[in-house]
Structure 1
Amino acid sequence: MLSDYVDRAIAQAIYDKLEDGTFTGKIPACKGVIAFASTLRECENELRSTLEDWILLGLKLGHSLPVIDNIDLNKEPMDTV
């Protein structure tokens, strides 16, 4: 499920070539996930790595993560008995 989430989030990425010839990439649904690199391929790889770290940190800290293509990584509240 995690790898599907990452793949689908990366599919929503937006890349731009900057004036200096480097690239930036971001995933609009994932606030703060942005990468910069000298080539588009490096930018894609860096963005994937940044996204993976962002997800793991968000899960660890209990942050609400966006639902991507009906994949919800957020923990369900546990019923107490």
Structure 2
Amino acid sequence: MAVRFVLSDYVEKAMAHALYDKLEDGTFAGRIPQCKGVVAFGITLRKCEDELRSTLEDWILLGL
């Protein structure tokens, strides 16, 4: 049986609400509207998603 942690579940659920935009220069911007101030940028969509997840995790830790 796999053990899941509350914070891991929160991160996954929050990431499901992430919105991404392709910018004029070809890079990507991501944000999670429900998490004020959680935004990230990346040269690819995948890098933007990874950066957004990291930003969200930091945002959560700062709020604890």
Compute the TM-score of the two structures, normalised by the length of structure 1.
0.72
Q: Which residue of 2 aligns with 1:69?
A: none
For structure 2, the residue ranges without an aligned partner over 5 or more in a row are 1-5
Distance in 2 of aligned mates of 1:36 and 1:47: 8
1:20 is the counterpart of 2:25: yes
Q: Deviations over 1:10-62 (max 9, x none)?
A: 00000000000000000000000000010000000000000000000011xxx
Query: Aligned to 1:24, what secondary structure does the other structure show?
Result: strand
Structure 1: stretches of 5+ with no match in the other structure: 60-81
Residue aligning to 1:32? 37
Q: How many residues align?
A: 59
Runs of 4+ residues over 3 Å off in structure 1: none
Q: Secondary structure at the match of 2:40?
A: strand
Over the matched positions of the two proteins, sequence identity in percent amounts to 76
CA RMSD, aligned part only? Answer: 0.3
Rg larger in structure:
1
Q: Equivalent residue of 1:12, what SS? A: coil
The structure that is helix-richer by fraction is 2
> CA offset at residue 2 of structure 1?
0.4
